[in-house]
């Protein structure tokens, strides 16, 4: 457990790019990259622009769906401390499933950030809070009459639309989001991911030094990267 905790802390220092490259080496299709998400809050120049933590998943359904389960409480009231809230909205909707009041509650619960597989609203409220939020898009419409929460902390599926690929987000999988994008890290890969990230970081730093003194990039990469 101590080794896992240490590895998780170490993973925080790397970027989504570092982690994606490491996960590709570990055989994860497209390195766990969740394509199509954009950082909307707090902003790319903010010191708090990185989010990292275990996923707390929320599966939304259309409001008209009366057969799907109903959670025992509002999903924002059940957010665990230090978790990244990952909301899966039904496809094909132009309404939002998250807003400023939810981020206010999430921040009070100690959430590490929010990822919306869908739309949200109240951009300025989120930025005023300084909470890290990534989403597929925006809407002026609230969730009322359009969607409702159904299941909490269940596996949800994220679709990389461009390549027709689905990424399953398990509750507790680690989510990293920064200015470059968002990546999902399966819990079982954390230690190896850290090792590969550190190895690649050291190689890239040596490569940078060579380039800064005028070395050609082709031979340098061929010599240093394995």
Q: Binding site for Mg(2+): which residues?
A: 122
Q: What angle do CA 103, 47, 50 make, to 5 degrees?
A: 60
CA distance 30 to 34: 9
Query: In the 3-class helix/strand/coil scheme, how is 139-167 assigned residue by residue?
Result: CCCCCCCCEEEEEECCCEEEEEHHHCEEE
Binding-site positions read 99-102, 121-122
The answer to whether the beta carbons of residues 141 and 95 sit under 8 Å apart is yes
CA distance 171 to 57: 6
CA distance 103 to 131: 7
Chain CA centroid to CA 183, Å = 5
161 CB burial (10 A radius; 0-12, 13-18, 19+): exposed
3-state secondary structure of 205: helix
Place of tokens 């394509």: 35
Binding-site positions for substrate read 99-102, 121
Residues 6+ apart with CB under 8 A from 128: none
Place of tokens 């398990």: 170
């Amino acid at each position: 457990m101590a080794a896992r905790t240490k590895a998780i802390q170490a993973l925080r220092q790397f970027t989504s790019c570092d982690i994606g490259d490491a996960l590709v080496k570990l055989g994860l299709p497209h390195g766990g990259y969740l394509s199509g998400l954009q950082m909307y809050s707090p902003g790319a120049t903010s010191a708090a622009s990185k989010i990292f933590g275990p996923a707390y998943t929320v599966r939304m359904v259309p409001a008209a769906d009366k057969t799907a389960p109903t959670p025992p409480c509002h999903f924002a009231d059940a957010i665990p401390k230090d978790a990244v809230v990952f909301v899966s909205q039904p496809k094909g909707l132009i309404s939002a499933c998250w807003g400023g009041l939810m981020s206010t509650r999430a921040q009070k619960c100690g959430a590490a950030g929010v990822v919306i597989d869908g739309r949200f609203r109240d951009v300025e409220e989120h930025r005023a809070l300084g909470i890290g939020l990534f989403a597929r898009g925006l809407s002026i419409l609230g969730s009322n009459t359009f969607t409702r929460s159904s299941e909490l902390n269940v596996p949800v599926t994220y679709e990389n639309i461009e390549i027709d690929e689905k990424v399953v987000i398990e509750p507790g999988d680690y989510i990293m989001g920064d200015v470059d994008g968002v990546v999902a890290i399966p819990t079982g890969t954390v230690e190896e991911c850290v090792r590969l990230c550190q190895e690649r970081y050291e190689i890239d730093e040596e490569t940078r030094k060579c380039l800064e003194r005028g070395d050609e990039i082709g031979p340098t990469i061929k010599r240093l990267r394995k």
